[in-house]
Structures are given as C-alpha cells and as structure tokens.
Chain A
Amino acid sequence: MRSRRLLFAFAALLCSAAAARAEDVAVKIGVLTDMSSLYSGISGEGSVAAAKLAVEDFNPAAHGLKVEVISGDHQNKPDIGAGIARQWYDADHVDVVVDVPTSSVALAINELAREKNKAFLGSGPASSDLTGPKCSPNTIQWTYDTWMLANGTGRAVVKTGGDTWFFLTADYAFGHALERDTSAVVTANGGKVLGHALVPLNTPDFSSFLLQAQTSKAKIIGLANAGGDTINAIKQGAEFGITAGGQQFAGLLVFINDIEALGLKAAQGLVLTETWYWDMTDANRAFTKRWQVAANRPGKFPAMVPAGVYSSVIHYLKAVAALKSASDGRAVVAKMKEMPTDDPLFGKGSIRADGRKLHNAYLFEVKKPEDSKYPGDDYKVRATIPADEAFRPLKDGGCPLVSG
C-alpha cells in the first residue's frame, strides 16, 4: 500500500517537473523589508506587491524563466536582516535580495551579497555609502540616496535664501550620512551650518530639540530623519510657532505617506525631493491602481520605494534572461550595468560602474489644502533635476570599483 502511494507521488513529481520546461531557469527573489515598524508604510507589503507586479509584467515564461518571490521582515535590525539574508542565500536558493529600507541593515546585506556572490538591489536604503566607500560589484542602489536628497532639496533651499541651517538628525547611519551630505551641499553653495541635535530613533517628543533649533536662529531647520520622526518634528514645529517665527523646515527624506499622515494643512509649502510620484504620468497612475489592489491598500499611495522595487526587479529579470542564469550574482549585476534600463515607471536610464542607478529627480512642493483636487493630489513639481546632475559625480564617491 505504502509503496504504491510513494510510486504515485513520484509519478506526480515527474509530471510537474516535466510541466516546467527543462530549460526554464529558476529565479528566486527575496524581498527583505520592514513589515511591522516605522518603514512598513513606505515599503513592507507595498514592496512585496510591487515585486510581484514586476514579475507579472515581465512574463517570465515567455523568457524561459521561472520566478518565485518570497519576503522577510528585518525589523530594522542589522543582525536580524543579515540572519534572514544568510539563510536565503545559503539554504533557500535566493538569487537576489531586493528593497531593504534602513541603511544599517542594507550595509550588512551589501557585505553578505559580496561574500556569497549573490545580487542585492537596494530600493529602500538611503545611505550614499552604498555607492561610495562601501560600493560592491554585487550591489545596485536603485531609487534614491542621501547625496541626491541633500543635493536636490539642499541646493534649492540655499539658492532661495535659506543660507543658515540647523539639523535635527536621526542618531544612526542614515541620519549621519544625510546630515553630512546636506552640510556639504549647504557649505558649497555659500550657506552656513550653525549646529545640530542628534535625536534618538523613534522619539515621540521633539519639542526640546525644536527649542534648540529655535534658539540657534537658523533660517532653515533640516530634518535629517524619516517616517514618524519627520512627522512628529513637523507637527510639533507648527505648534511651537517655528514656521510662524520665520524659520522654515526642509524635509530631507519625506515620502508621500508622511504628507498624508501630516495632512496638507500642516505640511503645505514643504519642499522635498523624490524620484517618483504616483500622479506624474498615466503609467504611474495605472501602476498605482494595480498596486492598491495587489498590496491591499485602498486609498493609499505608493511612495518611490515600491516603484523602485518594481523597476529594479524588471531590469534584473531582463539581465537574467539575457544570461540565462542567475547563479553568478556578480555577472548578473555586471550585465545589468551594461544594459540600458527602461521600464514604465522610471523611463529610460542607466546604471553606473559604482552601482548607482541614474534617473531624473524632482523637487516637489506640497500643495495648499485648497489646491488639492482629489485624494493623493499632494505635490506640485518645482523643478526637474536631470539624471546626470541628480546624483553624486562618479569621481567624488570614493568607490574602489571606480578608482581601482
């Protein structure tokens, strides 16, 4: 009896193996993201949904690929994230890790991917070190970075008269990188940095730090933080009369989710830089509709991070299809750098030797409540920063791949 059942099982296995054509290349994509904490709104399930939509649109069967998407929660802790990625790379045959918001986790995955010769496509992380001193032949940083944010928002603000700055900085790798990069831009454009306050991550009350910013008399208060921290700072800044007193906020990493959480009344006039906005093109709007269903987030809008996940997965699959193999991470990343990028969300672009994906960035201003016509109608474009100006020049990054 038992042997017969085994035989059946074996036959079934053979059939299923035959169904997947012998030449199909198996590709496994691991979306490593924040599922449960402060960055889950900008990434999380939204990033997983974007990766799945990308696979669907790529149509793997037509290219001789068989693609599987899995996901994991790194809880914003480098040790946990590295643990999951190690398990994925070593035991679960994952070929590429995508997304990874939170720079400290991304820096750990960056090293791991290099060690295991797998691929890492960072849509979530911000630290420009990933394409600078820490750059790797296995890593591409896709959507944005701290240099681009600093350059976009920082330069625009200094140019319009905001020449003295005080920073409220999230006290970890990302905040420090963002403050460093912005300070450089401010000083290079003739501005002055008067001081900073290092704020522990997830601080509910910013009033003490706001007061320090207020007494500094700086014209601009630079928010080198993200997510709930940025929201709390802006919300309480309005309350303490920061803006009424003539000082202005510069949000250095603000996502549309943050604007929705603040409400346009509190956020209006804020200047920010992003590389993607859901309401810019028909393709973006169409993606948003599908994303809202796939991610089960009706009434919410995708930030640039899920869009970057979508774009990076499409390009990755193109490179794998061209090579007919995903096993050598370094070779796939090299192929990705060789091929020009083209997808519905970011348009045409390219990837530089240091692993920096290049595309346009946009300087946005948050609309006044009365100018917003429908939900999510939050931004107006102040300036388009072309791809070759938006990111740090190759020679300034200190990436060993370039110099050596």
Chain B
Amino acid sequence: MFEIFGVPSQALFGQLLLGLINGSFYALLSLGLAVIFGMLNIINFTHGAQYMMGAFAAYLLLQHAGIGYWGALLVAPILIGATGVIIERLFLQHLRKLDPLYGLLLTFGLALVIEGLFRNYYGSSGLPYQVPEALRGGRNLGFMFLPNYRAWVIILSLAVCLATWFAIERTRLGSYLRAATENPVLVRAFGINVPRMVTLTYGFGVALAALGGVMAAPIYNVSPQMGSDLIIVVFAVVVIGGMGSILGAIVTGFVLGIVEGLTKVFYPEASNTVIFVIMAIVLLVRPAGLFGRST
C-alpha cells in the first residue's frame, strides 16, 4: 500500500467514500432548505426537527402499523409533509409579508417545541431500528468494506436530488414556481393558484427532510436530538452553497461531506469545526455563497 502525506491510501480512499455518504445526507437536507428558502423566503429552522420526525415516523410505523422500511420510505415523508402543510397554512402564510426574521423565530420555536414533545414521550436515549433485510451485509472494495445500505443511501439521495433539481429548473411546473417567487401577482393574473403552490412547496421541502430521517434511522441513533446535531452543519452547507440555490445546495453538500471526511483522517479533532471555518471564509470572499447570485 502506498501512502499519501503519511496516510495509507487505503484509509484515504475509504474516508473519501464515507465523506460522500455523509455528503448525501447533507445534500438531501440542504436541498429541502434551499427549496423552501428559494420559494418561500423562509429560513426553515424546523428542518432538523422534521428530519427527526421522519426517523420517528419510520419507527412508529414499524411498531404500530407493521409497515417496514420500504413502506416507511414512502409513507413517512407523506405524513410529515402533511404536517408541514398544516404548519404553513396555520402559521407561515401569515408571515410572508414580514421580515424573514419572524419566520426564523417561529420555525426555531417550533423546532424546540417538537423536540421537547418527543423527548417527553420517548426519552432521550433513542429507539432501535434495524437495517432492512435486503440491504444487510456489504462488499469488500479492496480499500474498504462498503455496507450495502450506505451504497443505497448514496444512490437514492443522488436520484432524489437530481430529480428535484430537474423538476424545479427544467419543467413547466418548476418554471411556474420560479416565476411565482419573482412576481406572485403577475403569476396569479395568469390563473395560477400561487398560495396553494407555495404551501405544497413547503410540504415538499419538509417531506425531503423526513425522507432523510427515514434513511438515517437504520444507521444513526433515533433520538429526539438527532436533528439538532445535524441541522447546524446543514445550515452552514446552505450558506456556503448560496441561499436558495438548488444546485449549490446539492454540490456543496457532497463536497463538504468529502472535506469533512478528509479532516477526520488528518486532524479528527477539527472535524466538527472545519465546515464552519469554510463558511466563514466563503462569507468573507463571496458573501452570496459559491453558487448564489448577489442581488
């Protein structure tokens, strides 16, 4: 085995791949945030809690309805997305004309309430959830052992990210959406129900978070604080990528996962701060983010 900077190449390639896996979670979550921010101009701080709800939904569906992983992959995002629709109808739509700060405060408060409720009912220690039968085991790639489930996570996340990007940037529906953010009054004049479209967009963003939660349930500890551990990193990803930029969120998510993975090889103690260091640098050099358009 040859070495790169004193690190065996085996470890290096392994970490790169792992970074890619983590990056797929970052990408999926920051994508939801970017969609919501881009279309609603709301900084959705509830995103972490909704990711956590997705994981809990997977657990509860299995325990109480006998619906396994594959079913949960479909049902949980729909259920949690529906709660997102309710939140949008009840609260967020009234904040649209106000400063984005109000939306941030509301969603942050909601996140605390939701986490508190789950902690009250389920405790903080976490709940068990197994990897589905079909995806157990793994294959030896020569330089590392890749669990099948992780490979599945990369593929699914990439597919969902690309499909979302395509739907928003390349389809007619997506063009309505983008037009509605630019000039909602004009788009309504063409007979399009803009408020409903906005509500559904929020529901969709939330469903993406829940999907991330279901995907995380078999590998991370399913606990009420699982979202808050992740959400801050994801926000950094969105800021680096450029607020509201769909492609930026996806690419930055994957790239930062890799950067973090490399940090874990060379200087593990810094692995939970490296993303924020990058964020600070990007904000200094390109305040609009790597992919953002400065307005």
* Residue ranges of A at the interface with B (Cβ–Cβ < 8 Å): 36-42, 44, 171, 197-200, 202-205, 207-209, 211-212, 214-215, 227-228, 231-232, 235-236, 239-241, 245, 255, 257-258, 260-263, 265-266, 297, 300
Contact = CB atoms under 8 A, between A and B. Distances in A.
Contact of A231 (B18, B21, B137, B221): B221
Contacts of B150: 207, 239
B125 A42 contact: yes
A128 B226 CA distance: 30
Contacts of B219: 235-236, 239
Contacts of A209: 264, 268
B10 interface: yes
A263 B221 CA distance: 11
A211 B268 contact: no
A297 B122 CA distance: 9
Contacts of A255: 125
Interface in B206-226: 216, 218-223, 225-226
B69 interface: no
B59 to A, nearest CB: 11
Nearest to B136: A239
A232 B11 contact: no
Contacts of B261: 208
A245 B137 CA distance: 12
Given A228-B221, A257-B125, A240 B264 contact: no
Interface residues of B, number: 44
B125 A245 contact: no
B8 interface: yes
A214 B145 CA distance: 10
A228 B144 CA distance: 25
A211 B11 contact: yes
Interface stretch (B39-47, B126-134, B284-292): B126-134
Given A231-B126, A235-B221, A300-B123, A212 B147 contact: no
Given A204-B229, A204-B230, A208-B18, A261 B272 contact: no
B114 interface: no
B119 interface: yes
B47 to A, nearest CB: 15
Nearest to B131: A239
Contact of A211 (B127, B144, B221, B229): B144
Contacts of A227: 125
B181 interface: no
B124 interface: yes
Interface string B116-158: 1001000111111011000001100000110101100000000
A239 B268 contact: no
B15 interface: yes
B126 A261 contact: yes
B83 interface: no
Contacts of B123: 40-41, 257, 297, 300
